[in-house]
Amino acid sequence: MDSSMYREQIIDLYENPLNYGELDPADFSYEEDNPLCGDVIRIDVRLDEQNRVAEVAWSGDGCAISQASASLLTEEIKGLTLDEVKAFPKETLLELIGVQLSMARVKCALLSLKVLKAGAYGLPDPEEIHPGHKE
Amino acid sequence: MDSSMYREQIIDLYENPLNYGELDPADFSYEEDNPLCGDVIRIDVRLDEQNRVAEVAWSGDGCAISQASASLLTEEIKGLTLDEVKAFPKETLLELIGVQLSMARVKCALLSLKVLKAGAYGLPDPEEIHPGHKE
Amino acid sequence: MLDVAKIRADFPILTVESYPDVPLVFLDSAASSQKPTAVLEAMDTYLRTYNANVHRGIYRLSEDATNAYEAARAKVARFINAQDAAEVIFVRNATEGFNLVAYSWGEANISAGDEILLTEMEHHANIVPWQLLAQRKGAVVRYVPFDENGVLDLSNLAELLTERTKIFSFTAVSNVFGTINPVKQLIAAAKAVGAMTMIDAAQAVPHMPIDVQDFDCDFLAFSGHKMCGPTGIGVLYGKRELLEAMPPFMGGGDMIRRVTLEKSTWNDLPWKFEAGTPSIAEGIGLGATVDYLTHVGMAEIHAYEQYLTHYALEALSEVPGLKVWGPPASQKAGVAAFTLEKLHPHDIAELLDKDGIAVRAGHHCAMPLHKKLGLAATTRASFYLYTTPAEIDRLVEGLHRVRQIFRL
Amino acid sequence: MLDVAKIRADFPILTVESYPDVPLVFLDSAASSQKPTAVLEAMDTYLRTYNANVHRGIYRLSEDATNAYEAARAKVARFINAQDAAEVIFVRNATEGFNLVAYSWGEANISAGDEILLTEMEHHANIVPWQLLAQRKGAVVRYVPFDENGVLDLSNLAELLTERTKIFSFTAVSNVFGTINPVKQLIAAAKAVGAMTMIDAAQAVPHMPIDVQDFDCDFLAFSGHKMCGPTGIGVLYGKRELLEAMPPFMGGGDMIRRVTLEKSTWNDLPWKFEAGTPSIAEGIGLGATVDYLTHVGMAEIHAYEQYLTHYALEALSEVPGLKVWGPPASQKAGVAAFTLEKLHPHDIAELLDKDGIAVRAGHHCAMPLHKKLGLAATTRASFYLYTTPAEIDRLVEGLHRVRQIFRL
Ligand SMILES: Cc1ncc(COP(=O)(O)O)c(C=O)c1O
Ligand SMILES: Cc1ncc(COP(=O)(O)O)c(C=O)c1O
């Protein structure tokens, strides 16, 4: 079995996630799920006076890839400005994950970034966009 | 060209149809068309006291096969009883036509028989069955 | 018993390698099956030697194409024992069959307050068209529940199936649990209250003998691609007198008798429901599919799959932490949807794929079923006439390795 | 100019004999075209080496199938210059495209008294769905007439196309007259009164470069099987914002985002409109079709067919008593529908078939057009990139023999 995809780091992060939890209050929070696989990720962010990420936490459920991705992303954005967060390139996150991903799994890997940016841009709760979403 | 299909008899009948015309009054009359090719055939029949076909006429328009078939059929049923008309086998008509017909053309060949039997059975005018039929 | 080695030789894809030196173990036939050479060749011969549009073409190619296409319909009719080939409507897939009935029969027969009865184990194909119909009409959709074994709980059937029920539409075989439902019993219950019946046979027709006259169902739908046949073709069976009375679904060429600027009248069955150029190559391919399955024998296929299912459930029970959902093998078709501790099915499927093992991970288009189980997804292995016990062994070995990688 | 000999070598069927020693002369491409080897092989390779259901399968076969199917969509989008592959909905055929719009857009946007504008030269596919919609809604269908040359008579357009007109749906190319309609002019006129536009491109996309952004049409539909591609696959193009706003047509797997027992929400475009397992092999085949046509060059194909049409009309004019319906060759695509004195088209087609010549006889799914001409049927010869002038000569010789047999 070629398990290079699931290299040690991903399994480690799956077992011991970084920045796992919730922040209340937070400067922005967002939660979204992928109904197709049941992955759900929530990210809470607190900013400092210069609009930099001071504290960040994520919570949720999902596959090893989406979980590891959330750990790596939240670790990486600490200290970035809000504008830098908004512009965070998905390539950077995929590099951080560092394994070859199939098309279907790229979606898992990028769910955390999608949630982060939706929060950073102040998007409305997905419930309003996709009614019946979070029942 | 293998034109055996269109043997002399069929072309002759196409040029000089038998029993062509209308009978008014008639004991039964029926008219139907095949909208797919525009063939239309009307048959009028007068019976004698023993319920045998005394006079028969057909009119209409269509391809050489359907026209020849109407000539051959009307010629053949003279003197038959109403019951014999109702039971007239389509195989007999196909034999009278005497050429090899493809599936699509068998319909042309049998239109006259369909019309004859509908009349013999006293079917309602097709307009009532297929509204918008004869406009 | 089937000669599986001989059967496997009929399926060219089974010699393919998933990755270099990793032979394919295809365990996703419930999603879409593989195709035997006979089916591929039937389509290829049509495309290479007598390809032409069907119906009313007065030249040899078109006549040959029409004959082959209509012969395929007659074969399908015989295969499911329909009384009449005119009761076999060719559609794209089972899904279109449900939509056709929901639009055509539904628009004419469903009113506000009427009830449509389904079950909680249905595929989305047998849920969403009825929900859309119910929304349009103000009707109500109700569901027969299943129990903890994935078996329909009929204890309250009398409350769900009443004279308000206009149609009871349910699956013959669950595509997740594999449950083989008591079709005849349920149809009898529906008839007793005057409800119509529609059977989702997408997972049944490929795997067991099906007789629509014995069922005495009003409608039944299935897909070609799950029964060794082509994509792009499926079947809606309907009783003749019902189909006759129904308005058309789609309008266009071939389904009309006459078109004027003011209005149109309809062709005879089955063409009334087949608008435009049909899936000709695919219809002809489905004819060859039915020939192939008939030649192998549907009873033999069913018996072999029963054996495989027993074998699989026993083998899988050796994987620690693995739970197969659904009833025991004796009540089950060749489908094993399972969970493995808290592992996400995507991770399981991806790791198995590295071993060449193709299984499906997800909700298998049965979200309500999964929601009731408290799961977002399961991993599903499914079997067909070409599956071998050795492939099931490879699945079990693969699952052991998944455990290792996740340090379980 | 095209190298026709080289092109003919791409089409295996062109070496077939209609009858022993009677080579096939295929002049019925407007009904359904022949397929080049590249298309047959693309489908065969899928079926033999990576056949699997698409979307969300996490194993190599399914990923390869999904990639190929979605790549085909992107190719089609580029081929018609759609802004976005999400604007390309795969349907069974052009006919389904019209039905999809008539049901989904129509249900949401048409009310009693609204007008739907068509033309008198439409194919039934672009008439019947609108008649059915109009019946459901109490709307009115109106028609732009054509003149004695088979050209749209626009002199009263301002009375037909008014602010009551909700949609103007018309063909880019008539499948009987061959008339190439002034699409951009008609779209501009529709926009001026705020009407939506839908283009029947079933006879246009196969034969000339088509650019939906240049047209600026709202919807456009065509079929794979008329453009050297497979049966069972066609395309509905729609502007993204319109498709986004439209309710789904058919319900089932793949088109949903989430299904609960109570209700469902929809997937993103284009999948919102593709319910159930799609025509996978056929979609992949359509991708190969577009590659093939692009490689040959649509402008080259159009130019060659213009040449053929001129040639054919001149050659046919030598047959006494023969009348070709429609405009002169300069305004016409490669279609010649004709009558020969009072001979019935069925007789003509049958006799030509004995010479191996495949033409179509009938109303070509355009009954209102024929009725206006006072005809029940015409005989139609139609050309494509593989047609040769020598084949047209054979047609003319055949017609002379038909005259002899009928003693004309
Ligand atoms: C102009 C036109 N529109 C629509 C169609 C319908 O195409 P299909 O039968 O593939 O849906 C055709 C072909 O028959 C056509 O020629
Ligand atoms: C039980 C059941 N019903 C319906 C369907 C829908 O089949 P298709 O996608 O071919 O329309 C499927 C397959 O996905 C199924 O398993």
Write the pLDDT tens digit of every residue in B104-116.
789 899 999 999 9
Q: What is the mean pLDDT of chain D?
A: 97
d(CA B108, CA B111): 5
Q: Is pLDDT at A133 greater than 80 in this prediction?
A: no
Tokens encoding C338: 């399972």
Q: Which of residues 99-128 of B touch C (CB under 8 A)?
A: 102-105
Chains near B with 3+ CB pairs less than 8 A apart are C, D
Please report which confidence band the pLDDT of residue C173 belongs to, taking 50, 70 and 90 as the band edges.
Answer: very high
Contact status of B11 with chain D (Cβ, < 8 Å): yes
Give the separation between CA C215 and CA C223, rounded to whole angstroms: 19
Average pLDDT estimate for D129-142: 98
Residues 6+ positions from C187 with CB-CB distance below 8 Å: C168, C197, C199, C215, C216, C217
How many Å from the N-terminal Cα to the C-terminal Cα in chain D? 39
**What is the pLDDT at residue D324?**
98
Q: What pLDDT, on a 0 to 100 scale, did the predictor assign at position B134? A: 39
Which residues of D lie closer than 8 Å to A, measured between beta carbons?
56-58, 63, 66-67, 257-258, 260, 262-265
Closest CA to C118 of C159, C148, C161: C161
Task: Kindly tell me if the per-residue pLDDT of D152 is higher than 90.
Answer: yes
Structural domain includes residue B24: yes
- Per the structure block, which two tokens stand in for A23? 């922040």
- Taking CB atoms and an 8 Å limit, are C128 and D31 in contact across chains? no
Alpha carbon of residue D205 to chain centroid = 7
Q: Provide the pLDDT confidence category of residue D55 given band limits of 50, 70 and 90.
A: confident
Pocket test for ligand 1, best of D91, D119, D200 (most atoms within 8 A of CB): D200
Q: What is the pLDDT of residue B4?
A: 61
Based on the structure, what is the number of domains in chain A?
Answer: 1
| Nearest ligand 1 atom to alpha carbon C277 | 9
Quickly state the pLDDT bin for A131 (edges 50, 70, 90). very low
Burial of D362 (0-12, 13-18, 19+ CB in 10 A): buried
Assign C396 to helix, strand or coil.
Answer: helix
Q: Which of D71, D74, D140, D365 is catalytic?
A: D365
What's the CA-to-centroid distance between D235 and ligand 1, angstroms? 12
Q: Ligand 2 mean position to D377 CA, how many Å?
A: 42
Residue A132 lies in a domain: no
Question: Which residue minimizes the CA distance to atom 15 of ligand 1?
Answer: D202
Is the pLDDT confidence value at C22 over 90?
A: yes
The CA–CA distances, whole Å, from C283 to C79, C106, D49, D271, D381 equal 14, 26, 22, 24, 26
> Is B78 among the domain residues?
yes
Q: Are C53 and C280 in contact (CB under 8 A)?
A: yes
For C1, other C-beta atoms within 10 Å of its C-beta total: 7
The whole-number pLDDT of residue A126 equals 57
Of D56, D63, D265, the CB nearest to A131: D265
Other residues' Cβ atoms within 10 Å of the Cβ of residue A101: 18
Closest CA to D225 of D54, D375, D92, D348: D92
Give domain status of residue A134, yes or no. Answer: no
3-state secondary structure C338-372: EEECCCCHHHHHHHHHHCCEECEEECCCCHHHHHH
Mean pLDDT of B26-46: 90
Rounded to an integer, the average pLDDT of D20-43 is: 97
CB-based contact C354 A1, cutoff 8 Å: yes
The answer, yes or no, to whether residue B131 has pLDDT greater than 60, is no
* Cβ-contact D235, D219 below 8 angstroms: no
The verdict on whether C365 is a catalytic residue reads: yes
Tens digit of pLDDT for each residue in C273-295? 999 999 999 999 999 999 999 99
CB D322 within 8 A of CB D342: no
Q: Which of D74, D35, D29 is nearest to D173 (CA)?
A: D29
Amino acid B129: pLDDT: 45
- For range B78-95, the mean pLDDT: 96
Q: CA torsion, points B56, B59, B64, B66, in degrees to nearest 10? A: -70
Q: Is the pLDDT of residue A132 over 60?
A: no
Contact D260 C128 (CB under 8 A): no
Pocket test for ligand 1, best of D365, D380, D382 (most atoms within 8 A of CB): D365
Q: Is D375 exposed, middle or buried (0-12, 13-18, 19+ CB in 10 A)?
A: middle
Closest to C96 in 3D by CA, of C201, C254, C222 = C222
Atom of ligand 2 nearest to the CA of D276: 9
Chain centre distance of CA D216 = 19
What is the rounded CA–CA span in Å between residue D154 and residue D157?
5
Secondary structure (DSSP) of B43-112: EEEEE-TTSBEEEEEEEEE--HHHHHHHHHHHHHHTT-BHHHHHT--HHHHHHHH-S---HHHHHHHHHH
* Confidence band for B36, pLDDT divided at 50, 70 and 90: confident
Q: For strand C357-358 and strand D140-144, is the pairing parallel, antiparallel, or unpaired?
A: unpaired
Q: In the prediction, which pLDDT does B54 show?
A: 97
**Lookup: tokens for A72:** 């790596």
> How many Å apart are CA D308 and CA C82, to the nearest integer?
49
A130 lies in some domain? no
What is the number of the ligand 1 atom nearest to the C-alpha of D365?
14
Closest residue of chain B to D407, computed from CA coordinates: B11
Test mutation, D44, D103, D225, D250, chain C, max C CBs within 10 A: D250
| pLDDT band for position C47 (cuts 50, 70, 90) | very high
Using CA atoms, how far apart are residues C218 and C195, in angstroms rounded to an integer?
Answer: 10
What pLDDT was estimated at residue B38? 80
Domain annotation covers residue A22: yes
CATH label of the domain that carries residue A90: 3.90.1010.10
Q: Which amino acid is at D24?
A: L
Do residues D245 and D272 make contact, with C-beta atoms less than 8 angstroms apart?
no
Tokens describing residue C9: 């030789």
Evaluate: CB of C95 within 6 angstroms of ligand 2.
yes
How many angstroms does the Cα of residue C133 sit away from the middle of ligand 2?
19
User: Is A127 domain-assigned?
Assistant: no
Q: Which residues of D touch C58 (CB under 8 A)?
A: 346, 349-350, 353, 360-361
pLDDT at residue B7, as a whole number? 77
Backbone φ and ψ for D148, nearest 5 degrees, come out as -70, -15
CATH second-level architecture of C40-295?
A: 3-Layer(aba) Sandwich (3.40)
Q: Which two tokens stand for residue C61?
A: 């190619």
* Nearest by Cα to C250 from C235, C223, C271: C271
Determine, for residues C265 and B135 on separate chains, whether the beta-carbon distance falls below 8 Å.
Answer: no
Q: Residue A2: pLDDT above 70? A: no
Q: Whose CA is nearest to atom 12 of ligand 1?
A: D202
* Residue identifier of the C-alpha nearest atom 12 of ligand 2: C202
Say which ligand is closest to the CA of C99: 2
Contact flag for A and B (3+ C-beta pairs < 8 Å): no
Task: Give the separation between CA B116 and CA B44, rounded to whole angstroms.
Answer: 8
- Residue D253 in contact with ligand 2 by CB distance below 6 A: yes
End-to-end CA distance of chain C: 39
Structural domain containing residue B70: 3-122
Cβ distance of C57 and D358 shorter than 8 Å: yes
Q: How far is A50 from chain C (nearest CA, A)?
A: 39
Copy the structure tokens of residue D375. 């005809």
The band of B125, judged by pLDDT with boundaries at 50, 70 and 90, is: low
- Give the HSE-up count for residue B19: Cα atoms under 13 Å, Cβ half-sphere: 26
Tell me the percentage of chain C whose pLDDT exceeds 90. Answer: 99
Contact C63 B102 (CB under 8 A): yes
Q: Rounded to whole angstroms, how far apart are CA atoms B31 and B40? A: 7
pLDDT at A3 over 60: no
Residue-wise pLDDT tens digits, C145-163: 999 999 999 999 999 999 9
Size of interface A-D (CB pairs under 8 A): 28
pLDDT of res. A102: 81
* pLDDT of residue B61 exceeding 70: yes
User: How far apart are the C-alpha atoms of A90 and A88, rounded to whole Å?
Assistant: 6
- Say if ligand 2 is within 6 A of residue C202 CB: yes
Q: Which residue in C has a C-alpha nearest to residue B104's C-alpha? A: C56
> Is it the case that residue D48 has pLDDT exceeding 60?
yes
Q: Is the predicted pLDDT of residue C334 greater than 70, yes or no?
A: yes
Position in ligand 1 atom list of the atom nearest CA C276: 9
Question: B91: distance to nearest CA of chain D, Å?
Answer: 22
Tell whether domain C4-30+297-403 is in CATH 3.90.1150.10.
yes
Amino acid letter for position B34: N
Residue B52 has pLDDT above 50, yes or no: yes
Output the CA–CA distances (angstroms, integers) from residue C331 to C181, C303, C309, C310, in the order listed: 8, 13, 10, 10
* Cα four-point dihedral sign B77, B80, B83, B84: negative
B135 pLDDT exceeds 50? no
Please work out whether the CB of residue C93 comes within 6 Å of at least one atom of ligand 2: yes
Element (H, E) at C196: strand C196-200
* Dist CA C310 CA C154 (whole Å): 26
> Distance between CA atoms of B43 and B13, rounded to whole angstroms?
17
Give the number of the atom of ligand 1 that is nearest the alpha carbon of residue C253: 9
Instruction: Give residues with Cβ within 8 angstroms of C299, minimum separation 6.
Output: C208, C209
Q: Which of D28, D128, D346, D363 to mutate to test the interface with B (most CBs of B within 10 A)?
A: D346
pLDDT tens digit sequence for C243-278: 999 999 999 999 999 999 999 999 999 999 999 999
A18 and A67 in contact (C-beta within 8 Å)?
no
Q: Evaluate whether residue B133 is within a structural domain.
A: no
The two tokens of residue C155 are 């204890």
Which residue out of C90, C236, C365 has the highest number of ligand 2 atoms within 8 Å of its CB and is therefore the one to mutate?
C365
Establish if A16 touches chain C: CB-CB under 8 angstroms. Answer: no
> Across the interface, which of D32, D282, D360 has its CB nearest the CB of C232?
D282
Q: Which ligand is closest in space to the CA of residue C227?
A: 2
ipTM of the complex: 0.94
With contact defined as 3+ CB pairs under 8 Å, the chains touching A are C, D
Listed by start position, the domains of chain D span 4-30+297-403, 40-295
CA of C177 to the centre of ligand 2 (A): 14
State the best of C41, C117, C120, C128 to mutate against chain D, taking most chain D CBs within 10 Å.
Answer: C128
> For residue range A70-126, what is the model confidence (pLDDT) as tens digits?
999 999 999 999 999 999 999 999 999 988 888 778 989 999 999 999 999 988 765
**CB C123 less than 6 A from any atom of ligand 2:** yes
The pLDDT tens digits for C338-377 are 999 999 999 999 999 999 999 999 999 999 999 999 999 9
Kindly identify the ligand whose nearest atom is closest to the C-alpha of D28.
1
